[in-house]
Amino acid sequence: MDNNLLSSLRNLIKGDVATDNETLNLYSHDASLFEVQPQAVVFPKDVLDVKNLVKFVNQNKRLHSSLSLTARSAGTDMSGGSINDSIIVGFNKYFNHVKNISGFIAVTEPGVFYRDFEKETLKHGLIFPSYPASKEICAIGGIVNNNSGGEKSLEYGKTEKYVEELKVILSDGNEYIFKPLNTKELQDKLTLNSFEGEIYRKIYKLVTQNYDLLQKAKPNVSKNSAGYYLWNIYDKKANIFNLIKLFVGAQGTLGLITEAKLKLVPVKKYSEMRIIFLNDLKHLGNIINAILPLEPESFETYDDHTLKLAIRFFPSFAKLLGTKGLLQTAWNFLPEFFMILTGGIPKLVLQVEFAGNSDKILKEKIKNLEEALKAFHLKARTARSKKEEKKYWIIRRESFNLLRYNIKDKHTAPFIDDFIVRPEYLQKFLPELNAIFSKYPDLIYTIAGHLGDGNFHIIPLMDIKDPKQRALIPTLADEVYDLVLKYKGSITAEHNDGLIRTPYLKKMYGEKVYELFEQTKKIFDPNNIFNPRKKVRGDLKFALDHIRQNW
């Protein structure tokens, strides 16, 4: 960005405009394996700043074609969704207030860290149930823009179910309120002689004229973050037209969210957790079928590699568990040590949690679970305390960070990290997946995920500086995604498209639906100013050319 343009930007914004090397370097990374350096990072102070920023980019786009705006809150995106080569809009510095909690509704800004948001909701005995595993480090803006889900999504569903209203600044530089509309409210919007009216008319025409095609395109899985959710906008049965369903999961490619009104649910008083150890996968499908009818709140899994990490990195776990020293941490892991000594490391660990307001009912559910699994002769145990439950949750949630921060000669490479297939296919799917990975014996990886949904996170460890290792990325992605689509799944259940999966959307949805995605982008963002290369016009070469090599 030239000095004149930068000077104009600084004069326009009340907030901060940073171009120093330290800030640019920090904002050139997220939790993905990519590195893209921006030209500036802007921290808008208020809504007027965001409006002026959008107008500034539009006014200068003709002479400076690379100008764009990429929203960012906590920067924990694993797909490269929060990095780009122009202006990063940092919402974490000033847009970080929980404005109100009343009844079961919270009003919050996008830069609020989830951990701080949860502290406020818990004061009211409430929780936002679709939080991801990265709940300690992620923010609300990313949760909404990625349509996040997590360990409670089996019971509660994803973020899209809990967004009641959004304030969004569109490409004309004005802020609009989006909420579900009934027939009369929709007609009022369709008659507006404005940019807002134009958007409603064009999107209404797009989704109604292609209604059947879009309904068929909707992935038949419980969770999906791939593409634009055009099939969810118009509920014909209820006569509700809801553009929130489009903005949630859009990765900031259609506008900049400045405020969200979110629905909360009551916290349940009691929980019981059963941990099940599988030495092989031959009965996995039957085991899943036995567990799901018992309606667990969460049904998680992680593999032998993840468990080995937990045992290997005692100091890190001691800190996370709040234990005093290695001896106490080792004491906490005695059941696992004994199990390994007597039967070896299990292939998969299943973590089944029931929650409710009756301790008696939950204990009955644990009994029913034990009875349902008797025929499989599995090693299993019930967590005896909240502290023991916490141990297993930390193993499940923190495996990615353990890899990121403790393996020095290799680095985490999340690129096939978030696919989903229906649980009934897993017994066939997983051996075929393992067969793919067996062709690459030097590749170290961990598997963890939401077994109840059929959603898996696979994180390879790679020497990214090695050209041969980098060359594996598109090869392995093609093989894994072909398998996922063979079983009618989605290439991303939670982590979204970003730089790495956008190039595969045409493969997943086909030419016709992908063309509707492109039309949607053009309707909302005719000058392509919002987070380019995401959702449409993805460039795999750009992504591979920007793999991070300095860690």
CATH number at residue 365: 3.40.462.10
Nearest Cα neighbor of 452 from 422, 432, 473 is: 422
> Dihedral through CA 367, CA 372, CA 375, CA 380, nearest 10?
-50
The number of folded domains in the chain is 3
Pairwise pLDDT comparison (326 vs 9), residue with the higher score: 9
Predicted local distance difference test score (pLDDT) of residue 388: 77
DSSP string covering 500-518, please? HHGGGHHHHH-HHHHHHHH
**7 is in which domain, residue-wise?**
3-93+541-545
Same domain? For 353 and 433 the reply is: yes
Same domain? For 230 and 114 the reply is: yes
Boundary-marking domain end, from 440, 471, 486: 486
Strand pairing class (69-72; 87-90):
parallel
The yes-or-no verdict on residue 336 having pLDDT over 60 is yes
Q: Is the separation of the CB atoms in 26 and 43 below 8 Å?
A: no
Domain annotation covers residue 504:
no
CATH number at residue 16: 3.30.43.10
pTM of this structure? 0.93
Predicted local distance difference test score (pLDDT) of residue 170: 98
Which helix (DSSP H) or strand (DSSP E) does residue 24 occupy?
Answer: helix 21-26
Maximum separation of any 2 CA atoms in the chain, in Å: 74
Boundary-marking domain end, from 243, 266, 289: 266
Same domain? For 85 and 133 the reply is: no
Same domain? For 128 and 236 the reply is: yes
Domain annotation covers residue 450:
yes
CATH number at residue 188: 3.30.465.10
Same domain? For 299 and 351 the reply is: yes
Same domain? For 39 and 84 the reply is: yes
* Residue 331 binned pLDDT confidence (cut-offs 50, 70, 90): low
Q: Name the least confident of 210-224, 229-243, 448-462, 507-521.
A: 448-462
* Residue 302 binned pLDDT confidence (cut-offs 50, 70, 90): confident
Same domain? For 160 and 214 the reply is: yes
Q: Tell me the CA distances in angstroms from 445 to 94, 417, 485, 493, 550, one per residue in order.
A: 38, 10, 22, 19, 21
**Tokens linked to 341:** 């000594």
Nearest Cα neighbor of 478 from 511, 508, 441 is: 508
Instruction: Provide CB contacts within 8 A for 457, sequence distance 6+.
Output: 400, 414, 417, 418, 447, 448, 449
Mean predicted confidence (pLDDT) in 351-378: 94
Same domain? For 172 and 53 the reply is: no
* HSE (side-chain half, CA atoms, 13 Å) at 99: 14
**Tokens linked to 410:** 């290799």
Domain annotation covers residue 14:
yes
The yes-or-no verdict on residue 345 having pLDDT over 90 is no
Nearest Cα neighbor of 209 from 505, 509, 515 is: 515
Same domain? For 209 and 109 the reply is: yes
Q: Name the least confident of 83-87, 104-108, 299-303, 527-531.
A: 299-303
Domain annotation covers residue 511:
no
The yes-or-no verdict on residue 339 having pLDDT over 90 is no
φ, ψ for residue 293 (rounded to 5)? -65, -15
The yes-or-no verdict on residue 115 having pLDDT over 70 is yes
pLDDT digits (tens, 9 = 90+) for 505-537: 999 999 999 999 999 999 999 999 999 999 999
Same domain? For 446 and 383 the reply is: yes
